[in-house]
């Protein structure tokens, strides 16, 4: 694979959403300059580090995604600093897709100009709902009117390639309010929509409240799971009718507006994550898959980058990457593989000079990833590609699982393709679980 995707995490938010369990937080703004400084040092050493772990980086970057967090909170000077380093150490393709995640009302004009100056050509807004009561309940700071005004502003500034995120299953959401949010999103004319089902996690305030039957964050006003699933199915149907067909479990787009960056995740193409809790997948020259991630704590992240610098200067203590042992389960990330995944791999044990482990996936793990990442997309899996890539002995145990899932209405087989049915997309974790159990 001769191109690379880059993900840059800016994990600073103005307020922490009640459902959020990401490493991002409303850190004191005074910590942002130090974070940018650490990030730029990581960027400067990224190529050396990838070579050191056996996966030299492809030269050409075809997609760049600035997420987090709320990277639209950067100042124009900080945007300049980050892009200067990125462009010093990577070659951005002239037609690279460069996406910025933004919170409505948190993208100052000079910052927008700086991002545009450096080639940002796609903006993704975390709207979540066009009902103010629902966004307020989850701790978002914007109103529906502000979202619409923001879309007008960035379009006038010359960025037509826009994406909106919506969440099904928010506190106070009803079928009527969900249809209003969907119709409002369609009416904006944006070419790309992401629709997520709210997942409660005990690491979020809303999740903890749901477990303890509290009332402060609206847990008592959550729709039932069945209602939330119904909202998701309504979205699939409504967006299809509106000419914004689904192309992945959570993503819908006009033809030609698919997220090229996210497709790299689902197609298992190499990407490098930079910044707090950023995940990476690289390929070695002999075709092995390496997965690794950065620490999810600001202080440990800074320590890790300092160690890597020492290592690249040849001052590390001991010889890293010498001992192999079984890996633990992979950690999760909003854009990483689903949490149900257990990576089968060998792991480079961290040493003082290399804090984060690097997992080298086994052939079985590569097969599992190929299955569940491929099935996330509406294109699904190609049986011919599977047969070309994996030995028959590895594929044989899957045949009865596929047949059973087909009988249960979760999978569909047409010619060369295996895809999830609409019902299967709703129960995708069940399908993935059956495949992994095989
Ligand atoms: S959901 Fe997004 S915007 Fe909200 S706190 Fe988490 S990272 Fe920040």
Per-residue pLDDT tens over the stretch 380-433: 999 999 999 999 999 999 999 999 999 999 999 998 999 999 999 999 999 999
Give yes or no for residue 193 having a pLDDT over 80.
yes
Find out whether the beta carbon of 71 lies less than 6 Å from any atom of ligand 1. Answer: no
Give yes or no for residue 346 having a pLDDT over 60.
no
pTM of the model: 0.90
Question: If you measure from the C-alpha of residue 68 to the centroid of ligand 1, how many angstroms do you get, rounded to a whole number?
Answer: 7
**pLDDT digit string (tens) for 234-269?**
999 999 999 999 999 999 999 999 999 999 999 999
pLDDT the model gives residue 209: 87
Greater confidence (378 vs 436) lies with 378
Q: How far from 258 is each of 27, 199, 371, CA to CA, in Å?
A: 32, 24, 20
Find out whether the beta carbon of 276 lies less than 6 Å from any atom of ligand 1. Answer: no
Site to probe by mutation for ligand 1, drawn from 66, 71, 101, 126 as the one with most ligand atoms within 8 Å of Cβ, is 126
Q: Where do you find CATH 3.20.20.70 in the chain?
A: 3-267
Question: Taking all residues of the chain, what is their mean pLDDT, rounded to a whole number?
Answer: 89
Structure confidence at residue 313 as a pLDDT band (50, 70, 90): confident
Report the candidate in 76, 97, 74, 98 with the shortest Cα–Cα distance to residue 11.
Answer: 74
C-alpha span between 349 and 294 (Å, rounded): 15
Question: If you measure from the C-alpha of residue 249 to the centroid of ligand 1, how many angstroms do you get, rounded to a whole number?
Answer: 21
Across the range 59-67, mean pLDDT stands at 97
Contact 59, 44 (CB under 8 A): no
Residue with CA closest to ligand 1 atom 1:
20
pLDDT the model gives residue 58: 95
Find out whether the beta carbon of 102 lies less than 6 Å from any atom of ligand 1. Answer: no
C-alpha span between 130 and 125 (Å, rounded): 12
Rg (CA), the chain: 22
Question: If you measure from the C-alpha of residue 272 to the centroid of ligand 1, how many angstroms do you get, rounded to a whole number?
Answer: 21
Q: Are strands 122-128 and 162-168 parallel, antiparallel or unpaired?
A: parallel
Point out which residues pair with 153 in neighbouring strands: none
Find out whether the beta carbon of 69 lies less than 6 Å from any atom of ligand 1. Answer: yes
Give yes or no for residue 347 having a pLDDT over 80.
no
Find out whether the beta carbon of 20 lies less than 6 Å from any atom of ligand 1. Answer: yes
CATH H-level, domain 3-267: superfamily? Aldolase class I (3.20.20.70)
Residue with CA closest to ligand 1 atom 7:
69
Tokens 């001052």 belong to residue: 315
Question: If you measure from the C-alpha of residue 282 to the centroid of ligand 1, how many angstroms do you get, rounded to a whole number?
Answer: 27
Report the candidate in 255, 176, 102 with the shortest Cα–Cα distance to residue 184.
Answer: 176
Give yes or no for residue 348 having a pLDDT over 90.
no
C-alpha span between 182 and 362 (Å, rounded): 42
Cis peptide before 69 (omega within 30 of 0): yes
The domain made up of 364-437 has a fold known as Arc Repressor Mutant, subunit A (1.10.10)
Across the range 188-208, mean pLDDT stands at 92
- Long-range residue pairs from 319-322, CB within 8 A, at least 24 positions apart, any chain: 319/351, 320/52, 320/348, 320/350, 320/351, 320/353, 320/354, 321/52, 321/53, 321/348, 321/349, 321/351, 321/354, 321/358, 322/349, 322/351
Find out whether the beta carbon of 11 lies less than 6 Å from any atom of ligand 1. Answer: no
Q: Where do you find CATH 1.10.10.920 in the chain?
A: 364-437
Give yes or no for residue 324 having a pLDDT over 70.
no
Burial of 61 (0-12, 13-18, 19+ CB in 10 A): buried
Query: What percentage of the chain carries pLDDT values higher than 90?
Result: 79
Find out whether the beta carbon of 14 lies less than 6 Å from any atom of ligand 1. Answer: no
Structure confidence at residue 343 as a pLDDT band (50, 70, 90): very low
C-alpha span between 372 and 384 (Å, rounded): 17
Question: If you measure from the C-alpha of residue 264 to the centroid of ligand 1, how many angstroms do you get, rounded to a whole number?
Answer: 23
- How far does the chain reach from its first CA to its final CA, in angstroms? 30
Find out whether the beta carbon of 147 lies less than 6 Å from any atom of ligand 1. Answer: no
Site to probe by mutation for ligand 1, drawn from 7, 18, 22, 65 as the one with most ligand atoms within 8 Å of Cβ, is 22
């Amino acid at each position: 694979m001769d191109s690379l995707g880059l993900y840059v995490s800016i994990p600073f938010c103005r307020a922490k959403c009640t459902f959020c369990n990401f490493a991002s937080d409303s850190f004191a703004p005074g910590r942002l300059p130090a974070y940018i400084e650490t990030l730029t040092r990581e960027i400067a050493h990224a190529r050396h580090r990838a070579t050191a772990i056996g996966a030299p980086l492809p030269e050409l970057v075809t997609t760049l995604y600035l997420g987090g967090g709320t990277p639209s909170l950067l100042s124009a000077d900080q945007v300049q600093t980050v892009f200067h380093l990125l462009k010093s150490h990577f070659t951005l393709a002239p037609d690279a897709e460069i996406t910025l995640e933004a919170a409505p009302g948190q993208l100052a004009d000079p910052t927008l100009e700086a991002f545009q100056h450096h080639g940002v050509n796609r903006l993704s807004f975390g709207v979540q709902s066009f009902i103010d009561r629902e966004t307020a309940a989850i701790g978002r700071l914007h109103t529906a009117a502000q979202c619409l005004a923001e879309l007008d502003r960035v379009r006038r500034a010359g960025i037509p390639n826009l994406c909106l995120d919506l969440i099904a299953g928010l506190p106070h959401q009803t079928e009527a309010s969900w249809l209003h949010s969907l119709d409002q999103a369609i009416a904006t004319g944006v070419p790309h929509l992401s629709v997520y089902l709210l997942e409660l996690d005990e690491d979020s305030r809303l999740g903890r409240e749901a477990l303890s039957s509290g009332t402060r964050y609206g847990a008592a006003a959550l729709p039932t799971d069945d209602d939330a699933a119904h909202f998701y199915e309504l979205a699939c149907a409504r967006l299809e009718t509106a000419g914004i067909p689904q192309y992945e479990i959570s993503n819908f787009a006009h033809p030609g507006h698919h997220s090229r960056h996210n497709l790299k995740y689902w197609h298992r193409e190499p990407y490098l994550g930079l910044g707090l809790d950023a995940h990476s997948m690289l390929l070695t020259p002999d075709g092995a898959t390496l997965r690794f991630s950065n620490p999810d704590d600001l202080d440990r992240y800074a320590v890790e980058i300092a160690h890597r610098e020492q290592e690249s200067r040849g001052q590390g203590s001991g010889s890293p990457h010498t001992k192999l042992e079984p890996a633990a389960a992979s950690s999760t990330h909003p854009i990483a593989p689903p949490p149900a995944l257990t990576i089968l791999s060998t792991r480079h044990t961290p040493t003082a000079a290399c804090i984060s482990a690097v997992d080298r996936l086994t052939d079985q793990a590569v097969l599992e990833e190929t299955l569940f990442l491929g099935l996330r997309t509406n294109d699904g899996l190609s049986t011919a590609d599977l047969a070309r890539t994996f030995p028959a002995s590895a594929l044989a145990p899957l045949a009865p699982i596929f047949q059973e899932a087909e009988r249960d209405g979760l999978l569909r087989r047409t010619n060369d393709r295996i895809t999830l049915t609409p019902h299967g997309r709703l129960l995708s974790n069940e399908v993935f679980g059956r495949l992994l159990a095989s």
